Amino acid sequence: MKDNLTYEEVPVEILDCQVRRLRNKEVASVKILWRSQFVDGANWEAKAAMIGKYPHFIFSSIST
């Protein structure tokens, strides 16, 4: 917890992955379970953005 009483969410687990087709390109998304949230609070995030923000997190286990 930081001095201003906020905290950074940290990914815990990848629950699912999908590739969505948008006009001319495909976008890989991962469903992320965040620390201090329940499974129903998990949300879809762009895989490329997650790799950029959390390079230490293991995304190699997903095929998309």
Who wins on pLDDT, 36 or 64?
36
Domain spans in the chain, listed from the N-terminal domain onward: 11-53
Answer yes or no: are the C-beta atoms of 11 and 32 closer than 8 Å: yes
How far is 41 from 11, CA to CA, in rounded Å? 12
β-bridge partners, 23: none
Confidence (pTM) = 0.73
Model confidence at 39, pLDDT cuts 50, 70, 90, reads confident
Q: What is the pLDDT of residues 3-33, one digit of tens each?
A: 787 877 889 889 999 999 989 999 999 999 9
Average pLDDT, the chain: 85
